[in-house]
Amino acid sequence: MTTVHRWTGRETRALRQALRMSIRDFSAHLGVAERTVSKWEAGQEAVRPRPEMQAALDTVLDKSAEDVRARFDAAIAPTRGQNAAVPPAADALGGLTAVYQSRCDLTAAMPADQLFDSARVVRAVGLSLNLLCQDYADRRWQELLERDVHVRCLFLDPDGTSIQSREREEGFPIGQLSALTKLNIETLLRVRDRLPVTLQERLELATYDETLRFNIILVDDLCVAQPYLGGNRGVDSPAFVMHRGQPGAGLYPVFEQVFESQWQGRRAL
């Protein structure tokens, strides 16, 4: 009988297809939102459902007919290997599950709504944080925050010296990145101001003024990181997707440490 030791978006999609269900039918079968299933499938190995959903998926598979399990096995066999107990390749790569050539490739594969809609904790550090502020609607952030999601955003100081250096590196006119960053900060400040006072602490905004190294977005157990390369614009930099593994192991805690280190020296807004 098929056993899945750790469900990811890849196995979830294989099970849905083996059951010959649409995303709508499968989400109803599990009792979750359609966007949750969409997020799992878009993230592939980089996304792991919560523990209670891991158990629910186990139950669905256990109760499936033999032909469904046969289709499921066939779908995951090419990368699963002969021994189901062998950890996925991502574990051997420090949790790295995907690499995209640019931010456009990343957002095509993992749109903002699929990245954030089911989030519980979001932490981000970078320059203007366009993925959060331009690609995800204000009302969606308000809905998340009212649902007890906690968000920390750390922008490069639009009035600092480091952003001016980055403008020169990327070939922008002086003040262009500063203006964009100010616009994005104002967008999230408005979101925070619309929240009840008792909920405003769920959205923490801050700036820092240091040499820009990475754009890092941590969404629960998922991390998306882009290096800022000299002479390249941020949108043209490669993006790396990784998941949290065993405590202290893999790449996730490295980028988490980068975020926390920058957050310690923040200037709150």
Pick among 3.30.870.10, 3.60.15.10, 2.60.120.680, 3.10.350.10: CATH of 92-268: 3.30.870.10
The C-alpha atoms of residue 121 and residue 94 are separated, in whole angstroms, by 22
DSSP 69: H
| Of 33, 29, 40, residue with least CA distance to 6 | 40
Q: Look at residue 80 in the predicted model and tell me its pLDDT.
A: 40
* Residues comprising the chain, all counted: 269
Composition of the chain by helix, strand, coil, percent to 5: 50, 15, 35
Question: CB-based contacts of 171: which residues, under 8 Å, 6+ apart?
Answer: 233
At 77 the pLDDT is 63
Question: Which residues in the chain land under pLDDT 50?
Answer: 78-88
pLDDT of residue 127: 94
Pairing, β 203-208 against β 150-156: parallel
DSSP 28: H
The residue behind tokens 């308000």 is 142
